[in-house]
Structure 1
């Protein structure tokens, strides 16, 4: 797979053929991945500050709704010689994520992602992909990305559903820290992996940092959010996002100086007849 498409897809992760049937449950009106205890000797929370926990959960899971959103960002990546790049990402909530990457005045790549899967065209190398979410999960060395999770990651929203039994929440002067006290099991389409989880939030409940560490390997994903901005209807969004992928090699991608808009826009996508399809293996 060429780097243009890989970059574009990772960008939209903070960016089967039906949405993956993860171990999920509702958090109010928002779906989040449920992480389950692994093993019979799990440590449990004593439930002492349950009222504080309920307030915390309400603030990290319940967010104002929107219909559509346009995101314009500058992208840098440590494995690309041509950067920064200009990226436009457009989201219609629960329906589609459309993304376009330009270098100087050249339209390099474009993608459209729906609950059914991922389509992306690499105009620089004249090839394209049409796949489910397995490619993106393999690219990030994880197993839990589906459409809704991808949308949440892009917007800085909590995409893992934790409980009193498998996590602890500590408050300090900088905000809140949530960490797993057991191995967290995520099952997706019969594939099971266990993670250690760490998340940090500001005093205003903005998500600042997420780390998922695979307990059986060096694979890990870290996401860092900052420069949160307020909009109408109490909507808050991060202007800067950094994704760090760790494994046999470490790589990172940064979206910064993000500008947001909320008007509807066209999302053209087509594949020229002479382009070659890249098979995802």
Structure 2
């Protein structure tokens, strides 16, 4: 899958510098992180679980480290994610969920929290690469980063663009549980002097299921004053995780 998905470069490729060590590459990755207070725009989301495909355009609002808010036209579907909880409702099915991050963790097959979801959307590593020791393997197109010590329970790998140091791909897997999460950053867009993801493809697999999520970001604006209206309608049935 990794080899078959070609990632469009955000800038012209000047080549990989095989003299850069992993510490410098990781430092440059965090220097390339978005500096913002708020982000707003629209997202086209195409979801396919192998049995059903759904496409939805939603409004997106993010207040850094505090709130991720999504709303479909006419408020038919709304979601609110904060560091404390995940909540959403669907007026078409008269149901809602209001709880912890287990719902999204089960959907993508890896343990998630607010920071990981925000990083996933903004082109940053889901894991904090500064908290462990990594090795760098220069390839023809990327800096490939992986942990210095192999972990049989939890395997990670990251591919960084050699010019922007933004993520091109990231992989998290749990071989014993037969879980795999692949995230491809197919293209970035320039906003001011910063790079924001434009297209993201997500593949989540386990022993019996495979889920594909394609995201396109449109009309992105930064640092506008935002509000986050959200209230679960009365009479809706709660979704309870099994």
State whether TM-score is above 0.5: yes
Corresponding residue to 1:67 among 34, 37, 42:
37
Give the gaps of 5 or more residues in structure 1: 1-48, 186-193
Corresponding residue to 2:120 among 137, 153, 166:
153
Change in 2 beyond 3 A, CA 1:100/1:165: closer
**How many Å separate the matches in 1 of 2:115 and 2:99?**
16
Deviations along 1:87-118, one digit per CA (max 9) or x if unpaired, are 2221000110001134xxx6431011111111
Corresponding residue to 1:268 among 207, 229, 235:
229
User: What pairs up with 1:2-13 in 2 under 5 angstroms?
Assistant: none
User: What pairs up with 1:37-76 in 2 under 5 angstroms?
Assistant: 52-62=21-31, 63-76=33-46
User: What pairs up with 1:131-280 in 2 under 5 angstroms?
Assistant: 131-143=99-111, 145-162=112-129, 166-184=133-151, 194-204=153-163, 205-232=165-192, 234-247=193-206, 248-256=208-216, 258-262=218-222, 263-280=224-241
CA-CA distance at 1:239 after TM superposition: 0.2
Change in 2 beyond 3 A, CA 1:118/1:165: closer
**Alignment partner, residue 129 of structure 1:** 97
**Alignment partner, residue 78 of structure 1:** 48
Q: TM-score, normalised by structure 1?
A: 0.71
Change in 2 beyond 3 A, CA 1:275/1:165: closer
**How many Å separate the matches in 1 of 2:101 and 2:54?**
26
**How many Å separate the matches in 2 of 1:135 and 1:173?**
38
**How many Å separate the matches in 2 of 1:95 and 1:131?**
16
**Alignment partner, residue 7 of structure 2:** none
User: What pairs up with 1:16-35 in 2 under 5 angstroms?
Assistant: none
SS at match of 1:274: coil
SS at match of 2:105: helix
* Number of equivalences: 220
CA-CA distance at 1:244 after TM superposition: 0.5
Contact 1:176 1:202 (8 Å CA) reproduced: yes
